Structure 1
Amino acid sequence: MNISLHGKRAIVSGSTAGIGFAIAHGLAEAGAEVVVNGRTKARVTRAVEQIQRKLPGAKVKGIAADLGTAEGADILFAKEPETDILVNNLGIFEPKGFFEISDEDWQRFFEVNVMSAVRLSRHYAKGMATREWGRVLFLSSESALQIPTEMVHYGTTKTALLAISRGLAETLAGTGVTVNAVLPGPTRSEGVGGYFSQMAREQGVDSETLEARFIAEHRPSSVIKRLATVEEVANMVVYLASRQASATTGAALRVDGGVVRSIA
Protein backbone atom coordinates (compact mmCIF):
# COMPACT_ATOMS: atom_id res chain seq x y z
CA MET A 1 0.00 0.00 0.00
CA ASN A 2 1.41 3.36 -1.04
CA ILE A 3 -0.02 6.09 1.18
CA SER A 4 0.19 9.54 -0.35
CA LEU A 5 -1.07 12.63 1.46
CA HIS A 6 0.26 15.12 -1.06
CA GLY A 7 -2.00 18.13 -1.31
CA LYS A 8 -3.36 17.63 2.22
CA ARG A 9 -2.70 19.77 5.28
CA ALA A 10 -2.45 18.24 8.74
CA ILE A 11 -2.43 19.74 12.22
CA VAL A 12 -1.07 17.65 15.08
CA SER A 13 -1.60 19.06 18.57
CA GLY A 14 1.15 18.48 21.11
CA SER A 15 3.63 17.28 18.53
CA THR A 16 7.07 18.45 19.62
CA ALA A 17 8.00 15.06 21.09
CA GLY A 18 6.86 11.50 21.66
CA ILE A 19 3.88 10.06 19.82
CA GLY A 20 2.84 13.47 18.50
CA PHE A 21 6.24 14.08 16.94
CA ALA A 22 6.26 10.61 15.38
CA ILE A 23 2.82 11.29 13.90
CA ALA A 24 3.90 14.65 12.49
CA HIS A 25 6.98 13.01 10.98
CA GLY A 26 4.92 10.16 9.51
CA LEU A 27 2.37 12.49 7.93
CA ALA A 28 5.13 14.67 6.47
CA GLU A 29 6.87 11.57 5.10
CA ALA A 30 3.60 10.65 3.36
CA GLY A 31 3.58 14.07 1.67
CA ALA A 32 1.24 16.11 3.84
CA GLU A 33 1.91 19.70 4.74
CA VAL A 34 2.21 19.47 8.52
CA VAL A 35 1.67 21.98 11.31
CA VAL A 36 3.62 21.09 14.45
CA ASN A 37 2.36 22.45 17.75
CA GLY A 38 3.75 22.89 21.22
CA ARG A 39 3.60 25.38 24.07
CA THR A 40 7.00 27.02 23.56
CA LYS A 41 8.58 28.48 20.47
CA ALA A 42 11.92 26.81 21.23
CA ARG A 43 10.48 23.28 21.31
CA VAL A 44 8.34 23.90 18.23
CA THR A 45 11.32 25.27 16.27
CA ARG A 46 13.48 22.31 17.29
CA ALA A 47 10.79 19.80 16.25
CA VAL A 48 10.29 21.45 12.86
CA GLU A 49 14.04 21.48 12.24
CA GLN A 50 14.34 17.80 13.20
CA ILE A 51 11.66 16.78 10.69
CA GLN A 52 13.12 18.94 7.93
CA ARG A 53 16.56 17.51 8.60
CA LYS A 54 15.26 13.95 8.33
CA LEU A 55 12.95 14.73 5.40
CA PRO A 56 14.56 17.34 3.14
CA GLY A 57 11.87 19.14 1.19
CA ALA A 58 9.10 18.33 3.65
CA LYS A 59 6.51 21.06 4.14
CA VAL A 60 6.48 21.63 7.88
CA LYS A 61 5.68 24.70 9.92
CA GLY A 62 5.26 25.29 13.63
CA ILE A 63 2.82 27.18 15.82
CA ALA A 64 3.55 27.77 19.49
CA ALA A 65 0.31 27.86 21.48
CA ASP A 66 -1.03 26.22 24.61
CA LEU A 67 -3.96 24.32 23.14
CA GLY A 68 -5.06 23.27 26.60
CA THR A 69 -6.61 26.74 26.83
CA ALA A 70 -9.26 28.54 24.78
CA GLU A 71 -6.82 31.40 24.22
CA GLY A 72 -4.22 29.06 22.78
CA ALA A 73 -6.79 27.49 20.46
CA ASP A 74 -7.72 30.95 19.16
CA ILE A 75 -4.06 31.59 18.29
CA LEU A 76 -4.02 28.41 16.21
CA PHE A 77 -7.34 29.20 14.51
CA ALA A 78 -6.12 32.68 13.53
CA LYS A 79 -2.95 31.29 11.93
CA GLU A 80 -4.44 28.09 10.48
CA PRO A 81 -8.17 28.57 9.85
CA GLU A 82 -8.57 25.29 7.92
CA THR A 83 -7.08 21.83 7.73
CA ASP A 84 -7.77 18.52 6.02
CA ILE A 85 -6.42 16.28 8.79
CA LEU A 86 -6.67 16.99 12.51
CA VAL A 87 -4.85 14.80 15.01
CA ASN A 88 -5.92 15.51 18.60
CA ASN A 89 -2.80 14.21 20.29
CA LEU A 90 -2.31 16.70 23.12
CA GLY A 91 -2.52 15.05 26.51
CA ILE A 92 -1.01 14.87 29.96
CA PHE A 93 -0.72 12.06 32.49
CA GLU A 94 0.30 11.86 36.11
CA PRO A 95 0.29 8.86 38.44
CA LYS A 96 -1.67 9.89 41.53
CA GLY A 97 -3.94 8.03 43.93
CA PHE A 98 -7.66 8.72 43.62
CA PHE A 99 -7.96 10.31 47.05
CA GLU A 100 -5.10 12.68 46.28
CA ILE A 101 -6.60 13.97 43.01
CA SER A 102 -7.95 17.46 43.71
CA ASP A 103 -10.70 19.33 41.93
CA GLU A 104 -8.01 21.41 40.27
CA ASP A 105 -6.30 18.26 38.98
CA TRP A 106 -9.57 16.97 37.50
CA GLN A 107 -10.26 20.30 35.82
CA ARG A 108 -6.72 20.56 34.45
CA PHE A 109 -6.88 17.07 32.95
CA PHE A 110 -10.24 17.75 31.31
CA GLU A 111 -9.09 21.09 29.90
CA VAL A 112 -5.95 19.62 28.35
CA ASN A 113 -6.98 16.09 27.41
CA VAL A 114 -10.64 16.64 26.51
CA MET A 115 -11.47 20.27 25.86
CA SER A 116 -8.45 20.82 23.60
CA ALA A 117 -9.80 18.10 21.31
CA VAL A 118 -13.36 19.42 21.54
CA ARG A 119 -12.36 22.95 20.58
CA LEU A 120 -10.16 21.92 17.68
CA SER A 121 -12.65 19.41 16.31
CA ARG A 122 -15.55 21.84 16.61
CA HIS A 123 -13.62 24.44 14.64
CA TYR A 124 -12.00 22.37 11.90
CA ALA A 125 -14.57 19.63 11.22
CA LYS A 126 -17.13 22.11 9.86
CA GLY A 127 -14.82 23.11 7.04
CA MET A 128 -13.98 19.49 6.31
CA ALA A 129 -17.68 18.69 5.95
CA THR A 130 -18.17 21.63 3.60
CA ARG A 131 -15.28 20.43 1.43
CA GLU A 132 -16.59 16.85 1.68
CA TRP A 133 -13.28 15.36 2.80
CA GLY A 134 -11.45 15.24 6.09
CA ARG A 135 -9.92 13.17 8.83
CA VAL A 136 -10.36 13.78 12.58
CA LEU A 137 -8.34 11.56 14.88
CA PHE A 138 -8.35 11.32 18.66
CA LEU A 139 -5.44 9.82 20.61
CA SER A 140 -7.17 7.91 23.38
CA SER A 141 -5.55 5.02 25.27
CA GLU A 142 -6.06 1.46 26.40
CA SER A 143 -6.52 3.17 29.77
CA ALA A 144 -9.90 4.31 28.43
CA LEU A 145 -11.06 0.69 28.55
CA GLN A 146 -9.08 -0.48 31.57
CA ILE A 147 -9.01 2.48 33.96
CA PRO A 148 -5.66 2.47 35.79
CA THR A 149 -6.13 2.78 39.53
CA GLU A 150 -2.92 4.80 39.73
CA MET A 151 -4.40 7.58 37.59
CA VAL A 152 -8.18 7.39 37.41
CA HIS A 153 -8.45 10.99 36.18
CA TYR A 154 -6.26 10.23 33.15
CA GLY A 155 -8.23 7.11 32.22
CA THR A 156 -11.52 8.96 32.58
CA THR A 157 -10.46 11.67 30.12
CA LYS A 158 -9.41 9.02 27.61
CA THR A 159 -12.82 7.35 27.92
CA ALA A 160 -14.42 10.72 27.25
CA LEU A 161 -12.47 10.98 24.00
CA LEU A 162 -13.98 7.70 22.80
CA ALA A 163 -17.48 9.06 23.34
CA ILE A 164 -16.67 12.32 21.57
CA SER A 165 -15.07 10.49 18.65
CA ARG A 166 -18.08 8.23 18.10
CA GLY A 167 -20.55 11.08 18.52
CA LEU A 168 -18.70 13.28 16.05
CA ALA A 169 -18.44 10.45 13.54
CA GLU A 170 -22.22 10.07 13.60
CA THR A 171 -22.68 13.84 13.44
CA LEU A 172 -20.62 13.89 10.23
CA ALA A 173 -22.28 10.85 8.64
CA GLY A 174 -22.30 11.03 4.83
CA THR A 175 -20.03 14.06 4.60
CA GLY A 176 -16.86 12.29 3.50
CA VAL A 177 -15.22 13.11 6.83
CA THR A 178 -14.07 10.17 8.93
CA VAL A 179 -13.58 10.30 12.69
CA ASN A 180 -11.67 7.67 14.63
CA ALA A 181 -9.91 7.09 17.91
CA VAL A 182 -6.54 5.39 18.33
CA LEU A 183 -5.79 3.58 21.58
CA PRO A 184 -2.07 3.15 22.26
CA GLY A 185 -0.96 0.83 25.01
CA PRO A 186 2.18 1.41 27.09
CA THR A 187 4.46 3.29 24.69
CA ARG A 188 8.07 4.38 24.97
CA SER A 189 7.35 8.07 24.52
CA GLU A 190 9.36 10.96 25.93
CA GLY A 191 7.07 11.34 28.94
CA VAL A 192 6.88 7.63 29.73
CA GLY A 193 10.60 7.19 29.11
CA GLY A 194 11.39 9.99 31.53
CA TYR A 195 9.04 8.51 34.13
CA PHE A 196 10.69 5.09 33.86
CA SER A 197 14.19 6.57 33.96
CA GLN A 198 13.40 8.43 37.17
CA MET A 199 11.91 5.32 38.78
CA ALA A 200 14.86 3.23 37.62
CA ARG A 201 17.29 5.60 39.31
CA GLU A 202 15.26 5.56 42.52
CA GLN A 203 15.15 1.74 42.55
CA GLY A 204 18.75 1.25 41.43
CA VAL A 205 17.95 -0.71 38.26
CA ASP A 206 18.23 0.01 34.54
CA SER A 207 15.28 1.27 32.47
CA GLU A 208 14.96 -1.99 30.52
CA THR A 209 14.56 -3.98 33.73
CA LEU A 210 12.00 -1.54 35.05
CA GLU A 211 10.01 -1.61 31.80
CA ALA A 212 9.90 -5.40 31.86
CA ARG A 213 8.83 -5.34 35.49
CA PHE A 214 6.10 -2.81 34.70
CA ILE A 215 4.68 -4.99 31.93
CA ALA A 216 4.77 -8.09 34.12
CA GLU A 217 3.16 -6.41 37.13
CA HIS A 218 0.82 -3.80 35.63
CA ARG A 219 0.06 -4.98 32.07
CA PRO A 220 0.45 -8.78 32.31
CA SER A 221 -2.06 -9.29 29.48
CA SER A 222 0.35 -7.70 26.98
CA VAL A 223 0.91 -10.05 24.07
CA ILE A 224 4.06 -8.35 22.77
CA LYS A 225 5.53 -8.20 26.30
CA ARG A 226 7.18 -4.85 25.74
CA LEU A 227 6.44 -1.18 25.31
CA ALA A 228 5.35 -0.11 21.84
CA THR A 229 7.42 2.43 19.94
CA VAL A 230 6.05 5.83 19.01
CA GLU A 231 6.52 4.92 15.35
CA GLU A 232 4.24 1.90 15.73
CA VAL A 233 1.46 4.15 17.03
CA ALA A 234 2.12 6.77 14.35
CA ASN A 235 1.79 4.15 11.60
CA MET A 236 -1.83 3.54 12.56
CA VAL A 237 -2.58 7.26 12.59
CA VAL A 238 -1.02 7.81 9.16
CA TYR A 239 -3.11 4.99 7.72
CA LEU A 240 -6.33 6.38 9.21
CA ALA A 241 -5.47 9.79 7.77
CA SER A 242 -5.12 8.32 4.29
CA ARG A 243 -7.55 8.04 1.41
CA GLN A 244 -7.31 4.26 1.74
CA ALA A 245 -9.03 4.39 5.14
CA SER A 246 -12.22 5.94 3.74
CA ALA A 247 -14.51 3.16 5.06
CA THR A 248 -13.15 3.26 8.60
CA THR A 249 -15.03 5.73 10.81
CA GLY A 250 -16.61 5.79 14.22
CA ALA A 251 -14.05 3.20 15.29
CA ALA A 252 -11.67 2.77 18.20
CA LEU A 253 -8.51 1.07 16.96
CA ARG A 254 -6.05 -0.37 19.44
CA VAL A 255 -2.27 -0.23 19.14
CA ASP A 256 -1.92 -1.69 22.59
CA GLY A 257 0.18 -4.80 22.02
CA GLY A 258 -2.79 -6.94 22.97
CA VAL A 259 -3.10 -5.51 26.50
CA VAL A 260 -6.90 -5.28 26.28
CA ARG A 261 -8.21 -8.83 26.50
CA SER A 262 -10.94 -8.55 23.90
CA ILE A 263 -11.49 -10.01 20.43
CA ALA A 264 -13.66 -7.03 19.39
Structure 2
Amino acid sequence: MMKIDLSGKSALVTGSTEGIGFAIARGLQDAGADVVINGRTQAKVDAALARLGGTARGVAADLGTAAGADALIAAEPAFDIVVNNVGIFQPSDFFDTDDAVWDQHWQVNVMSGVRLARAYLPGMAARGWGRMLFLGSESAFNIPVEMIHYGVSKTADVSLARGLAKRMAGTGVTVNSILPGPTLSEGVAGMLQAEVAAGKTLEQAGADFVIANRPSSILRRPATVEEVANMVVYIASPLASATTGAALRVDGGVIDSLV
Protein backbone atom coordinates (compact mmCIF):
# COMPACT_ATOMS: atom_id res chain seq x y z
CA MET A 1 0.00 0.00 0.00
CA MET A 2 1.27 3.47 -0.86
CA LYS A 3 1.61 5.70 2.19
CA ILE A 4 2.69 9.30 1.86
CA ASP A 5 4.61 10.44 4.94
CA LEU A 6 5.97 13.99 4.99
CA SER A 7 6.86 14.00 8.68
CA GLY A 8 9.86 16.22 9.33
CA LYS A 9 9.47 18.06 6.02
CA SER A 10 8.76 21.80 5.86
CA ALA A 11 6.49 23.07 3.08
CA LEU A 12 5.52 26.47 1.69
CA VAL A 13 2.38 26.91 -0.41
CA THR A 14 2.01 30.36 -1.95
CA GLY A 15 -1.40 31.90 -2.57
CA SER A 16 -2.92 29.38 -0.18
CA THR A 17 -5.66 31.18 1.75
CA GLU A 18 -8.36 29.56 -0.41
CA GLY A 19 -8.96 27.42 -3.50
CA ILE A 20 -6.43 24.94 -4.82
CA GLY A 21 -3.66 26.45 -2.69
CA PHE A 22 -5.56 25.91 0.55
CA ALA A 23 -6.40 22.32 -0.44
CA ILE A 24 -2.70 21.69 -1.15
CA ALA A 25 -1.73 23.13 2.23
CA ARG A 26 -4.29 20.90 3.95
CA GLY A 27 -3.13 17.83 2.01
CA LEU A 28 0.53 18.43 2.88
CA GLN A 29 -0.34 19.01 6.54
CA ASP A 30 -2.46 15.85 6.65
CA ALA A 31 0.58 13.95 5.33
CA GLY A 32 2.66 15.25 8.24
CA ALA A 33 4.45 18.28 6.77
CA ASP A 34 5.12 21.47 8.72
CA VAL A 35 3.19 23.92 6.54
CA VAL A 36 3.51 27.65 5.93
CA ILE A 37 0.68 29.33 4.03
CA ASN A 38 0.74 32.69 2.28
CA GLY A 39 -1.68 35.38 1.17
CA ARG A 40 -1.55 39.10 0.51
CA THR A 41 -3.33 40.25 3.69
CA GLN A 42 -2.91 39.28 7.33
CA ALA A 43 -6.69 38.96 7.70
CA LYS A 44 -6.93 36.32 4.95
CA VAL A 45 -3.89 34.47 6.28
CA ASP A 46 -5.35 34.43 9.81
CA ALA A 47 -8.74 33.19 8.57
CA ALA A 48 -7.09 30.40 6.56
CA LEU A 49 -4.94 29.36 9.52
CA ALA A 50 -8.07 29.13 11.68
CA ARG A 51 -9.63 26.82 9.07
CA LEU A 52 -6.47 24.76 8.69
CA GLY A 53 -5.72 24.24 12.38
CA GLY A 54 -2.77 22.23 13.56
CA THR A 55 0.67 23.82 13.71
CA ALA A 56 0.56 25.67 10.37
CA ARG A 57 2.07 29.14 10.19
CA GLY A 58 1.39 31.98 7.76
CA VAL A 59 3.18 34.90 6.15
CA ALA A 60 1.27 37.82 4.65
CA ALA A 61 3.22 39.03 1.60
CA ASP A 62 2.42 40.13 -1.95
CA LEU A 63 4.61 37.80 -3.99
CA GLY A 64 3.91 39.79 -7.14
CA THR A 65 6.59 42.17 -5.92
CA ALA A 66 10.29 41.70 -5.19
CA ALA A 67 9.79 43.32 -1.78
CA GLY A 68 7.05 40.83 -0.90
CA ALA A 69 9.25 37.89 -1.91
CA ASP A 70 12.13 39.32 0.14
CA ALA A 71 9.86 39.64 3.20
CA LEU A 72 8.73 36.02 2.93
CA ILE A 73 12.27 34.73 2.44
CA ALA A 74 13.49 36.75 5.43
CA ALA A 75 10.69 35.38 7.63
CA GLU A 76 11.07 31.75 6.44
CA PRO A 77 14.57 31.16 5.03
CA ALA A 78 14.43 27.41 4.25
CA PHE A 79 11.95 24.81 3.03
CA ASP A 80 12.07 21.20 1.86
CA ILE A 81 8.98 21.64 -0.34
CA VAL A 82 7.89 24.80 -2.17
CA VAL A 83 4.62 24.90 -4.11
CA ASN A 84 4.41 27.98 -6.35
CA ASN A 85 0.64 28.20 -6.49
CA VAL A 86 -0.02 31.94 -6.37
CA GLY A 87 -1.56 33.20 -9.59
CA ILE A 88 -4.02 35.62 -11.14
CA PHE A 89 -6.17 35.57 -14.25
CA GLN A 90 -8.18 38.31 -15.91
CA PRO A 91 -10.17 37.73 -19.10
CA SER A 92 -9.36 40.53 -21.52
CA ASP A 93 -9.22 40.65 -25.30
CA PHE A 94 -5.68 40.89 -26.65
CA PHE A 95 -6.27 44.29 -28.25
CA ASP A 96 -7.68 45.72 -25.00
CA THR A 97 -4.89 44.33 -22.80
CA ASP A 98 -2.27 46.94 -21.99
CA ASP A 99 1.31 46.56 -20.78
CA ALA A 100 0.25 46.93 -17.14
CA VAL A 101 -1.97 43.82 -17.31
CA TRP A 102 0.76 41.83 -19.06
CA ASP A 103 3.30 42.94 -16.47
CA GLN A 104 1.05 42.14 -13.53
CA HIS A 105 0.46 38.60 -14.83
CA TRP A 106 4.19 38.17 -15.44
CA GLN A 107 5.16 39.39 -11.98
CA VAL A 108 2.59 37.34 -10.06
CA ASN A 109 2.44 34.18 -12.17
CA VAL A 110 6.09 33.87 -13.22
CA MET A 111 8.50 36.10 -11.31
CA SER A 112 7.12 35.05 -7.91
CA GLY A 113 8.28 31.52 -8.71
CA VAL A 114 11.59 32.70 -10.17
CA ARG A 115 12.41 34.60 -6.98
CA LEU A 116 11.45 31.78 -4.62
CA ALA A 117 13.32 29.17 -6.69
CA ARG A 118 16.43 31.35 -6.61
CA ALA A 119 16.12 31.65 -2.82
CA TYR A 120 15.17 28.12 -1.80
CA LEU A 121 16.71 25.69 -4.31
CA PRO A 122 20.34 26.11 -3.14
CA GLY A 123 19.39 25.05 0.40
CA MET A 124 17.49 22.02 -0.89
CA ALA A 125 20.51 21.02 -2.96
CA ALA A 126 22.85 21.45 0.01
CA ARG A 127 20.62 19.12 2.08
CA GLY A 128 20.36 16.63 -0.79
CA TRP A 129 16.55 16.59 -0.97
CA GLY A 130 13.82 18.94 -2.11
CA ARG A 131 10.66 19.44 -4.10
CA MET A 132 9.92 22.57 -6.13
CA LEU A 133 6.50 22.62 -7.82
CA PHE A 134 4.83 25.12 -10.11
CA LEU A 135 1.08 25.29 -10.68
CA GLY A 136 0.75 25.66 -14.43
CA SER A 137 -2.56 25.14 -16.20
CA GLU A 138 -4.04 23.39 -19.18
CA SER A 139 -4.06 26.98 -20.51
CA ALA A 140 -0.26 26.65 -20.86
CA PHE A 141 -0.96 24.44 -23.91
CA ASN A 142 -4.51 25.44 -24.86
CA ILE A 143 -3.88 29.20 -24.90
CA PRO A 144 -7.28 30.77 -24.09
CA VAL A 145 -8.23 33.32 -26.75
CA GLU A 146 -10.00 35.42 -24.11
CA MET A 147 -6.83 35.81 -22.01
CA ILE A 148 -3.75 35.21 -24.10
CA HIS A 149 -1.61 37.01 -21.49
CA TYR A 150 -2.59 34.41 -18.87
CA GLY A 151 -1.85 31.47 -21.16
CA VAL A 152 1.59 32.88 -22.01
CA SER A 153 2.43 33.24 -18.30
CA LYS A 154 1.43 29.63 -17.64
CA THR A 155 3.51 28.37 -20.58
CA ALA A 156 6.40 30.23 -18.97
CA ASP A 157 5.80 28.42 -15.66
CA VAL A 158 6.03 25.04 -17.39
CA SER A 159 9.23 26.11 -19.16
CA LEU A 160 10.70 27.43 -15.92
CA ALA A 161 10.05 24.15 -14.13
CA ARG A 162 11.62 22.14 -16.94
CA GLY A 163 14.71 24.35 -17.02
CA LEU A 164 15.14 24.29 -13.26
CA ALA A 165 14.79 20.51 -13.20
CA LYS A 166 17.77 20.32 -15.55
CA ARG A 167 19.69 22.86 -13.48
CA MET A 168 19.14 20.76 -10.33
CA ALA A 169 20.18 17.48 -11.99
CA GLY A 170 21.86 15.06 -9.63
CA THR A 171 21.12 17.04 -6.46
CA GLY A 172 18.20 15.00 -5.08
CA VAL A 173 15.91 17.95 -5.80
CA THR A 174 13.05 17.47 -8.26
CA VAL A 175 11.21 20.26 -10.08
CA ASN A 176 7.87 19.69 -11.79
CA SER A 177 4.80 21.57 -12.96
CA ILE A 178 1.19 20.57 -12.30
CA LEU A 179 -1.46 21.37 -14.93
CA PRO A 180 -4.98 21.65 -13.52
CA GLY A 181 -7.90 22.03 -15.83
CA PRO A 182 -11.22 23.62 -14.82
CA THR A 183 -11.40 23.26 -11.03
CA LEU A 184 -14.27 24.05 -8.67
CA SER A 185 -12.44 26.58 -6.50
CA GLU A 186 -14.17 29.41 -4.64
CA GLY A 187 -13.44 31.70 -7.57
CA VAL A 188 -15.11 29.41 -10.11
CA ALA A 189 -18.02 28.76 -7.74
CA GLY A 190 -18.54 32.53 -7.51
CA MET A 191 -18.57 32.78 -11.29
CA LEU A 192 -21.35 30.15 -11.43
CA GLN A 193 -23.55 31.75 -8.75
CA ALA A 194 -26.10 33.11 -11.22
CA GLU A 195 -26.80 29.62 -12.55
CA VAL A 196 -27.01 28.22 -9.02
CA ALA A 197 -29.46 30.98 -8.09
CA ALA A 198 -31.53 29.94 -11.12
CA GLY A 199 -31.94 26.45 -9.68
CA LYS A 200 -28.94 24.37 -10.79
CA THR A 201 -26.74 22.58 -8.30
CA LEU A 202 -23.17 23.86 -8.18
CA GLU A 203 -21.97 20.53 -9.58
CA GLN A 204 -24.40 20.71 -12.52
CA ALA A 205 -23.49 24.32 -13.24
CA GLY A 206 -19.81 23.33 -13.18
CA ALA A 207 -20.38 20.41 -15.53
CA ASP A 208 -22.37 22.59 -17.94
CA PHE A 209 -19.58 25.19 -17.92
CA VAL A 210 -16.93 22.58 -18.73
CA ILE A 211 -18.96 21.03 -21.55
CA ALA A 212 -19.64 24.48 -23.06
CA ASN A 213 -16.19 26.03 -22.59
CA ARG A 214 -13.78 23.05 -22.54
CA PRO A 215 -15.45 20.65 -24.99
CA SER A 216 -12.33 18.46 -25.19
CA SER A 217 -12.75 17.52 -21.51
CA ILE A 218 -12.98 13.77 -21.01
CA LEU A 219 -13.97 14.09 -17.35
CA ARG A 220 -16.95 16.29 -18.37
CA ARG A 221 -16.93 18.13 -15.05
CA PRO A 222 -14.58 20.38 -13.09
CA ALA A 223 -12.06 18.74 -10.81
CA THR A 224 -12.38 19.33 -7.10
CA VAL A 225 -9.60 21.25 -5.38
CA GLU A 226 -8.79 18.06 -3.45
CA GLU A 227 -8.26 16.11 -6.67
CA VAL A 228 -5.64 18.62 -7.77
CA ALA A 229 -4.08 18.69 -4.30
CA ASN A 230 -3.71 14.90 -4.29
CA MET A 231 -1.40 15.06 -7.29
CA VAL A 232 0.67 17.80 -5.67
CA VAL A 233 1.02 15.91 -2.37
CA TYR A 234 2.23 12.80 -4.20
CA ILE A 235 4.77 14.73 -6.31
CA ALA A 236 5.97 16.51 -3.14
CA SER A 237 6.64 13.18 -1.45
CA PRO A 238 9.66 10.85 -1.38
CA LEU A 239 7.57 8.37 -3.39
CA ALA A 240 7.87 10.57 -6.52
CA SER A 241 11.67 10.59 -6.55
CA ALA A 242 11.96 9.51 -10.21
CA THR A 243 9.63 12.22 -11.54
CA THR A 244 11.34 15.48 -12.46
CA GLY A 245 11.14 17.93 -15.33
CA ALA A 246 7.58 16.77 -15.96
CA ALA A 247 4.37 18.66 -16.73
CA LEU A 248 1.78 16.56 -14.91
CA ARG A 249 -1.83 16.90 -16.01
CA VAL A 250 -4.80 16.95 -13.64
CA ASP A 251 -6.91 18.45 -16.39
CA GLY A 252 -9.59 15.81 -16.88
CA GLY A 253 -8.17 15.12 -20.35
CA VAL A 254 -8.81 18.65 -21.67
CA ILE A 255 -5.41 18.84 -23.40
CA ASP A 256 -5.85 16.71 -26.54
CA SER A 257 -2.38 15.18 -26.53
CA LEU A 258 -0.86 11.77 -25.93
CA VAL A 259 1.89 13.17 -23.66
Secondary structure of the equivalent of 1:163? helix
* Residue 77 (structure 1) aligned with residue 73 (structure 2): yes
Q: Which residue of 2 aligns with 1:191?
A: 187
What residue ranges of structure 1 are gaps of 5+ in the alignment? 53-57
CA distance in 2 between counterparts of 1:16 and 1:79 reads: 18
Q: C-alpha displacement at 1:96, in angstroms?
A: 1.4
Structure 2 stretches lacking a partner, 5+ long? none
TM-score (norm 1): 0.94
Is 1:218 the counterpart of 2:219? The answer is no
- Give distance in 1, aligned partners of 2:157 and 2:241: 21
Q: Pick from 58, 62, 66: which aligns with 1:62?
A: 58
State the Cα distance separating 1:95 from its structure 2 match.
1.4
Question: Which residue in 2 is equivalent to 1:55?
Answer: none
TM-score by length of 2: 0.96
Separation in structure 1 between the aligned mates of residue 105 and residue 191 of structure 2, nearest angstrom: 18
| Structure 2 counterparts to residues 1-264 of structure 1, below 5 A | 1-52=2-53, 58-197=54-193, 200=195, 206=200, 207-264=202-259
Counterparts of 2:11 and 2:187, CA distance in 1: 23
1:111-154 deviation per Cα after TM superposition (whole angstroms, max 9, x unaligned):
00000011011100011011110000000000001001111111
Aligned residues: 257
Give the letter aligned to residue 194 of structure 1.
G
Residues of 2 paired with 1:252 and 1:36: CA distance?
24
| Residue type at the aligned position of 2:245 | G
The aligned amino acid for 2:157 is: L
Aligned CA RMSD, in angstroms, stands at 1.4
Q: Following the alignment from structure 2 to structure 1, what is the Cα–Cα distance between the partners of residues 128 and 205?
A: 48
4+ residue segments displaced more than 6 Å: none
CA deviation string 1:134-178 (max 9, x = no partner): 000000000001001111111110000011000000000000000
Letter of the structure 2 residue corresponding to residue 46 of structure 1: A
In structure 2, distance between residues paired with 1:9 and 1:242: 11
The 2-side partners of 1:201 and 1:6 are apart by 41
Mean Cα deviation higher: 229-238 or 58-67: 58-67
Shift of residue 100, structure 1, vs aligned partner: 1.1
Q: Supply the distance in 1 between the matched residues of 2:206 and 2:31 (Cα, whole angstroms).
A: 32
| Residue 210 (structure 1) shift | 4.0
AA aligned opposite 2:141: L
SS at match of 2:147: helix
Contact 2:184 2:206 survives alignment (8 Å): no
Alpha-carbon offset, residue 102 of structure 1: 0.9
Contact 1:32 1:59 in 2 (8 A): no
Amino acid at match of 2:146: E
